[in-house]
A and B are shown apart, each in its own frame.
Chain A
Amino acid sequence: MKDSLRIHCSRQNLQQVRDFVRGFLITAQRSDMVVNQVVLAVDEVVANFIIHANGEDATQFLDLLLVLTNQQLDIEIEDHGSTLFLPAGKVPTPDLRAYIQQGRKGGMGMALVSRIMDRVEFFERNSHTVCHLSKVLA
């Protein structure tokens, strides 16, 4: 089972991304909790690509590919922007007590992705950044 989506780099398109991932996983009859976690992981990576890699330039676009083979879910998010964006894949959970004291807003997205997905990798392909997420679904 596979499906794909292309979106332009605008925050307004995050809802479309979530609806796409939800629809795919609900069709695959996954639990509400698992669906929400995977939707969240994809939303976080896509938001980072839109905001940090592309500066919300809506002329740029991202391609999403979801592939479910038995229990194995593979997700590829390819950024067609001209700037390479290669953050660390898996990151540790930050010190949230310090974040609260500092009044920090950001810095938790990739920690959530790391806790949810089995594998998180960013790499370069044809001068573009690709993020590969994978998870064995319960």
Chain B
Amino acid sequence: MKVTAQPADTTLTLFLDGELDASSAVVLDTELNKPELLKFKKVLIDCQKLSYISSAGLGVFISHLQRLQDSNVKLVFYNMQEKVFNVFEILGLDSLMTIVPTEKEAQAA
């Protein structure tokens, strides 16, 4: 799992590349734990190259969501592969998180 951060004005985009599991989730957790994250208004998660997610990966997002909301930072996922979106759907997380099809919609969310 590779995480690349790209800041632009008030938005930080994290590009995920690879498989997010119990072994690699710590990489993403470290990125989302950075205090400077709370300076942005929006954190976009580009999932185009995210080919797999397990409960450990879902858990990283869930564990940071309230902290981000409390700091008025919006977390938005986009470009998600159907099989990855399906994992969010299985537990009903698609209705608790903001997941949109395209970058344009993510920027507007």
Name A's B-contacting residues (CB within 8 A): 11-12, 14-15, 18, 32-33, 36-37, 39-40, 43-44, 47, 50-51, 93, 96-97, 99-109, 111-112, 115-116
Asked whether, in the complex, the Cβ of B23 is within 8 Å of the Cβ of A108, the reply is no
A47 to B24, CA, bound (A): 12
Q: Which residues of A are found within 8 Å of B82, using beta-carbon distances?
A: 32-33
Q: Which residue of B lies closest to A19 (CB)?
A: B19
Which of B55, B56, B60, B63 is packed against the most chain A CB atoms within 10 Å? Answer: B55
Interface SS, A side: helix
Asked whether, in the complex, the Cβ of A32 is within 8 Å of the Cβ of B83, the reply is yes
- How many B residues touch the partner, as a band? 20 to 34
Name B's A-contacting residues (CB within 8 A): 19, 21-23, 52, 54-56, 58-60, 62-67, 82-83, 86-87, 90-93, 96
Q: Which residues of B are found within 8 Å of A12, using beta-carbon distances?
A: 23
Asked whether, in the complex, the Cβ of A15 is within 8 Å of the Cβ of B66, the reply is no
Q: Within the complex, what minimum Cβ distance (angstroms) separates A62 from chain B?
A: 14
Name the one of A33, A37, A40, A100 contacting B66, with C-beta atoms under 8 angstroms: A100
- A111-B91, A116-B90 given as contacts; is B23 within 8 A of A14 (CB)? yes
Q: Which residues of A are found within 8 Å of B55, using beta-carbon distances?
A: 44, 106, 108-109, 111-112
